[in-house]
Amino acid sequence: MKSPLLSLPGAVPGEGPDEDVAAHYGDLFREQRALADGTGFVDLSHRGVVTVSGADRLSWLHLLLTQHVSELPPGQATEALILSAHGHIEHALYLVDDGETTWAHVEPDSQRDLIAYLESMKFFYRVDIADRTDEYAVVHLPAGSITEAPEDAVVRETPHGRDLFLPRERLTAFAEESGPPIGVLAYEALRVEAHRPRVGLETDHRTIPHELGWIGSAVHLQKGCYRGQETVARVQNLGKPPRRLVFLHLDGSEVTLPTHGAPIRLASEGEEGRQLGFITSSARHHELGPIALALVKRNVPVDADLIADSTAAAQETVVEP
């Protein structure tokens, strides 16, 4: 769903999954600094919004999700995954319950597949599942923001800021009252800096939660069974994941950033060496310069110098080998 805020002065459309919102409004680094300082807002209205209501909503979701949500208090934010039968990540849900309804935002255009799965698992439970994307837009207020959330918004508060589920017809008025607007590139740069994975970028068809550091934050190890739980338990108790997420400082002399999927190799082997992983997200940070997240084989030495395509990269450990 294309955002009406793309009509604001200076708005440049995003790319890939973020093409329906603004990448920036004319000054990427100024927008990053504002976001880091707790001012402005980010238009995330392209994200899918799904609600689950009904008396059994939390106990039912508890059976399906990787997170412990059966006793989720109203207003407490959490995140959870839905896995395949083999433990591969299919969806990430960013959740809050308002006491009557559980709200979740998900990756753009993924809500239809998510709802199809949830509907197939309803059975006799007293739950109602709805796609609310046409009615509600997600807006992000950074940590430290003093902007007040509208009374008709549902608020999901995290250490990184507040996600508002805002009635979509209020989006333009909210932008006028709560500026400056900040593009999604600034939001993504701070996400990469914080090592926070994103489905569809940090994941492929075989990614398991351990590879991305989602154990604990999105996967509860002491809850009951759910689809894919056997893989989670086996890797946790008996082995190691085949790959691991790393944070990269990229050579700042390069004009372009390595794109999603760019191969990672040992610098000592050069551009013809064995591929050991790939870039998942890259960004230009207002303080750190060019940075990236990458998924590499577990046995890559943590102190090894790497190259992404032809760009030199120094790694920091996110997930221990």
**Strand order, beta sheet including 154-158:** 154-158, 161-167, 136-142, 41-43, 181-182
pTM above 0.75, yes or no: yes
80 token code pair: 């959870």
- Condensed to tens digits (0 to 9), the pLDDT of residues 244-275 reads 999 999 998 888 999 999 999 999 999 999 99
pLDDT digits (tens, 9 = 90+) for 8-67: 999 999 999 999 999 999 999 999 999 999 999 999 999 999 999 999 999 999 999 999
Query: Is pLDDT above 90 for 179?
Result: no
* Band of pLDDT at residue 224, cut at 50, 70 and 90: confident
Q: DSSP letters along 111-178, please?
A: HHHHHHHHHHT-TT---EEEE-TTTEEEEEEETT--PPPPTTSEEEEETTEEEEEEEGGGHHHHHHHH
Per CATH, the number for 48-131 is 3.30.70.1400
| Residues 274-301, mean pLDDT to the nearest whole number | 97
Six-digit token pair at 115? Answer: 């709802």
Share of the chain above pLDDT 70, in %: 100
242-320 CATH:
2.40.30.110
Grade residue 234 by pLDDT with cuts at 50, 70 and 90.
very high
β-pairing, 48-53 vs 41-43, is unpaired
pLDDT value for 252: 86
Residue range 267-295: average pLDDT? Answer: 96
CA distance 67 to 64: 9
Domain ranges of the chain: 4-47+135-194, 48-131, 242-320
